[in-house]
Amino acid sequence: MSAIDTLFQNLRSENRKAFMPFVTAGDPDLDFTAAVLRHLAERGSSMFELGIPYSDPVADGPVIQASFSRALDKKIRLEKIFDMVSTVTPDVSAPIVSMLSYSIVYRRGLENYVKAAKAAGIAGAIVPDLPADESGELAEICRREDFSLVQLITPTTTPDRARQIADQTTGFIYYVSVTGITGERTELPPEIVDNVSWLREQTELPICIGFGISRPEHIRMLSPVADGLIVGSAIVRRIAEANSKPRQEVLDDVGNYVTELLSAL
């Protein structure tokens, strides 16, 4: 079992749901990324999605795109990210999942990437630009290494393809709540609840919902049908203020925001 499998097994036994912040590695720098991971784990986050900066957006909205650009401008590289993670994971029980472009995995070598990420303490990968029907080789390596390969299902995914994606997924399914790119929304489509309820009947995998979630009312709406909820742009936007404000002030603000969302879970 991977660390993610163990997490969801424990959460289900306690009738609890996962809260998963998205954090960009290296914005404003890797030291602050490490501080955010530690602080949000202390606040009660169950798991983290760690964005690996890449020059071409993969369903990323403007807030996350901008954070990637800032990190790349500072020459943030994969090895340094792994080094940072390796200093955090001994102190943080919440699993960390890397979110990255397949080109990064491919350039490093599929098996080499998985082994290096796992050695750093990363528990899995989300690779949004790798189609499920082309993921067989990476999926096999991940299964062999107990490294979760999380795949995405969207509102436009057909039923047959949703089942195929679920068969290739380990760890949890990332259900995309809206069509389009990431970013904070005022309202979420009401059909999400029915869509996820249907998906739950097709698979025993945990289902985490992401994209657009930013308010306590979103959490209350989705938590009855989800195993976990992912919040990205709203957190990245607050972290970005560390480029101009005192870091402790920003850390407290992000932590208070996460506590507010957790209170609705």
Question: Which pair of tokens denotes residue 23?
Answer: 């954090």
Residue 68, amino acid: F
Instruction: Find where tokens 């945990």 sit.
Output: 206
Q: What angle do CA 124, 160, 7 make, to 5 degrees?
A: 25
Question: Which pair of tokens denotes residue 112?
Answer: 């080499």
Q: In 3D, which of 177, 194, 192, 190 has the Cα closest to residue 232? A: 177
Residue 60 annotated in active site:
yes
Residue 197, amino acid: S
Q: For 160, how many CA atoms within 13 A lie in the half-sphere containing its CB? A: 1
For residues 87-110, one letter each, b for 16 or more C-beta atoms within 10 angstroms of the residue's C-beta and e for the rest, the string is: ebbeebebbbbbbbbbebbeebee
Which residue(s) pair with 23 in the sheet? 50
Terminal C-alpha separation, the chain: 26
- State the catalytic residue, choosing from 5, 27, 29, 49: 49
- State the catalytic residue, choosing from 27, 60, 140, 252: 60
Residues 151, 231: Cα–Cα separation, whole Å:
17
CB neighbours of 25 closer than 8 A, spacing ≥ 6?
A: 33, 50, 51, 52, 53, 71, 76, 81, 84
Residue 79 annotated in active site:
no
Report, as residue numbers or ranges, the catalytic residues.
49, 60
